Amino acid sequence: MKVLVADEISKSGLEMLRAEGYEVDVKTGLDEAELSSVIDDYEVLIVRSATKATRKVIESSRLRVIGRAGIGVDNIDVAAATERGILVMNAPSGNVVSTAELTIGVIFALARRIAEADASMRRGEWKRKEFKGTQVAGKTLGIVGLGRVGAEVAKRAAALGTTVIAYDPLVSPEVGVKLHVRLVSLERLLQESDFVSMHTPLTPQTKDLIGRNELAKMKKTAVIINCARGGVVNEDALFEALSQKAIAGAALDVYIKEPPKDSPLLTLPNIVLTPHLGATTLEAQEEVGAEIAEQIIAYLKDNVIKNAINLPAELDPEIVPYMPIAEKLGTLTSQLGQCSAGKIEVSCRGELAQKDIRIITASVMTGMLKAMSEEHNVNYINAVELAKDRGIEVVSSTSDEAGQYKNLIRVLLNANGETTSAAGTLYLDKGPRIVEINGSIVDIEPEGNFLLIGHEDKPGMIGSVGTVLGSNDVNIASMEVARKKARGPATMILHIDEELSPETLEKVRAIPNLKSATYIRL
- Hey, which residues are catalytic here? 229, 258, 276
User: Cα separation of 58 and 28, whole Å?
Assistant: 17
Report whether the peptide linkage leading into residue 259 is cis, meaning its omega lies within 30 degrees of zero: yes
The dihedrals phi and psi of 89, each to the nearest 5 degrees, come to -130, 150
User: Cα separation of 428 and 497, whole Å?
Assistant: 26
Q: Which helix (H) or strand (E) holds 479?
A: strand 476-483
**376 CB neighbour count, 10 Å cutoff:** 8
The DSSP symbol for 6 reads -
The dihedrals phi and psi of 31, each to the nearest 5 degrees, come to -85, 180
Given a contact cutoff of 8 angstroms between Cβ atoms, the answer to whether 287 and 93 are in contact is yes
Given a contact cutoff of 8 angstroms between Cβ atoms, the answer to whether 521 and 499 are in contact is yes
**520 CB neighbour count, 10 Å cutoff:** 22
Task: Give percent helix, percent strand, percent coil of the chain, each to the nearest 5.
Answer: 35, 25, 40
What type of residue is 376?
A: H
**Sign of the four-CA dihedral 265, 266, 269, 272:** positive
Q: Which of 146, 475, 98 is nearest to 285 (CA)?
A: 98
The dihedrals phi and psi of 40, each to the nearest 5 degrees, come to -65, -10
Given a contact cutoff of 8 angstroms between Cβ atoms, the answer to whether 493 and 482 are in contact is yes
- Angstrom distances, CA of residue 401 to CA of 50, 224, 352, 360, 396: 51, 53, 10, 18, 15
How would you classify the pairing of strands 163-167 and 140-144? parallel
The residue ranges of DSSP E strands in 295-439, in sequence order, are 343-350, 393-399, 407-415, 418-427, 431-437
Given a contact cutoff of 8 angstroms between Cβ atoms, the answer to whether 271 and 250 are in contact is yes
Radius of gyration of the chain from its Cα atoms, rounded to whole angstroms:
30
User: Cα separation of 451 and 465, whole Å?
Assistant: 10
Provide the residue count of the chain. 522
**92 CB neighbour count, 10 Å cutoff:** 18
Helix (H, G, I), strand (E, B) or coil at 406: coil
Q: Which residues of 121-146 are buried (b: 16+ CB within 10 A; e: fewer)?
A: eeeeeeeeeeeeebebeebbbbbbbb
